[in-house]
Amino acid sequence: MLTMKSFKTIEDWIRRRKLFAVCLDSVELDHAREDSLNKKIIDLVKEIRGELSLPDYNCTINCHVDCGVPCCFFSPLNIIEGVLIKPGKLPEIESIISESDKKLDDFVTFIEWDSLPPRQQEVVESHYNIQDYILEIDRVKNIVSTKKSDYPISQYLLRNAPKSLRGLRLWLDRAACSCSFLQSDNKCLLHGHGLTPKTCLSFVCTTGYVIYILESLNILSPSETDGLDLARLNELAKNATDILAGKLLTSEFLALEQNREKGFIKLLFDPLGDEKKILANQMYVKDLNFRHAQSKEKACQEIRETILTFL
Ligand code: SF4
Ligand code: SF4
């Protein structure tokens, strides 16, 4: 069963690993030094960096799951019926649209900032750095939003829409229609031209996030979830969450990982101590690294075997 508790823990785990990877990335390796100790440390850094190379976290997941994209549908009841676009991007968007027989106005709408009630302005400001989104036209401040089309959301998508990462319902209701940039193949016209609004890149739902983790850990490949409908994707994510938590967040596995990181940081930031001690620590980290890799591989294999039964 999907519990927000285990979900949050996995999220924290990914975040911690990402921080460690960033910390390692900031370490400057002394490639010019020839001595064998330096070379061994460099090799170890490379090995652990490679092992940690999860795709970008920090909310730029760029979900690619082919789920019918309920997250690209908006309701007239939403404060803004779409996502905001940076005014500086309008010329590029105009050029993309010029390939069709439509006009910019068919895709975006200009909203007078002062026409929004203060409470609504606050909500918008909590999601956007609003200064970057204001466009002055005749001294009137505007924001630019994607429009919604006349294509309504299906009952199926509405019923099965996954929850947000905070466990909240998406912004959908029966009157929701697709974003004007969503094409009939469920692909985004802007994205196809390398121009997705930041909000769209940063949004991922619980289902998309769990699938992202499974792919990051090489437990599943994107082709294995291709063609699954949204209800099955949700079910997969729901089951996978607890399996992941049960296998990867055991105290034994986490202790191994944390000891390895501590030993490794010590090795990196105290490289000029007694050579014997450094070598001993190096062996210790290498051993933990080996056991960690083995343990992770075994856990991921077991997770994969269980998850395959849900596909
Ligand atoms: S701009 Fe593209 S990704 Fe964003 S909501 Fe519209 S269709 Fe979806
Ligand atoms: S974020 Fe969720 S709803 Fe949006 S495309 Fe990914 S899986 Fe589908």
pLDDT in the model for residue 4: 64
Across 271-277, average pLDDT: 69
Across 267-274, average pLDDT: 67
Across 242-261, average pLDDT: 86
Spans of all domains in the chain: 4-62+213-308, 70-203
Q: SS3 of 135, please?
A: strand
Pocket of ligand 2 contains residue 70 by CB under 6 Å: yes
Where does residue 181 rank: exposed (0-12), middle (13-18), buried (19+ CB within 10 A)? Answer: buried
Q: Which residues line ligand 1 (CB under 6 A)?
A: 72, 83, 146, 179, 181-182, 188, 190-191, 196-197, 200
Across 251-278, average pLDDT: 78
Q: Which two tokens stand for residue 196?
A: 């997705």
Point out the least confidently predicted range of 6-20, 49-63, 75-89, 97-111: 49-63
Q: Which residue has the higher pLDDT, 38 or 198?
A: 198
Q: Determine the residue of 181, 184, 186, 201 to mutate for testing ligand 1's pocket, defined as the one with the most ligand atoms within 8 A of the Cβ atom.
A: 181
| Rounded Cα distance, 265 and 270, in Å | 8
Q: What is the maximal distance between C-alpha atoms in the chain?
A: 73
If you average pLDDT over every residue of the chain, what do you get? 85
Express each pLDDT in 149-169 by its tens digit. 999 999 999 999 999 887 889
pLDDT in the model for residue 311: 83
3-state secondary structure 195-231: CCCHHHHHCCEHHHHHHHHHHHCCCCCHHHHCCCCHH
E strands, 75-211, where? 84-85, 108-112, 134-137, 140-146, 148-152, 177-179
Point out the least confidently predicted range of 24-28, 197-201, 232-236, 305-309: 24-28
Pocket of ligand 2 contains residue 48 by CB under 6 Å: no
Across 269-286, average pLDDT: 75
CA of 124 to the centre of ligand 2 (A): 22
Asked whether the beta carbons of 133 and 144 are under 8 A apart, the reply is yes
Q: Which two tokens stand for residue 203?
A: 């949004």
Point out the least confidently predicted range of 105-109, 211-215, 220-224, 269-273: 269-273
Asked whether the beta carbons of 26 and 265 are under 8 A apart, the reply is no
Pocket of ligand 2 contains residue 63 by CB under 6 Å: yes
Residue labelled with tokens 């609004």? 197
Beta-carbon contacts of 120 under 8 Å, excluding residues fewer than 6 positions away, are 79
Beta-carbon contacts of 101 under 8 Å, excluding residues fewer than 6 positions away, are none
Query: Does residue 271 carry a pLDDT above 70?
Result: no
pLDDT band at 139 (very low <50, low <70, confident <90, very high): very high
| Rounded Cα distance, 162 and 159, in Å | 9
| Rounded Cα distance, 307 and 239, in Å | 8
CA distances from 6 to 2, 10, 24, 164, 213 (A): 8, 6, 27, 15, 13
pLDDT in the model for residue 57: 42
CA of 211 to the centre of ligand 2 (A): 10
| Rounded Cα distance, 209 and 95, in Å | 33
Express each pLDDT in 45-88 by its tens digit. 777 776 665 544 444 567 889 999 999 999 988 888 899 999 99
Asked whether the beta carbons of 162 and 234 are under 8 A apart, the reply is yes
Q: Which two tokens stand for residue 226?
A: 């291709």
- Ligand 1 atom closest to the Cα of residue 74 is 5
Q: Which residue has the higher pLDDT, 204 or 146?
A: 146
Query: Does residue 1 carry a pLDDT above 60?
Result: no
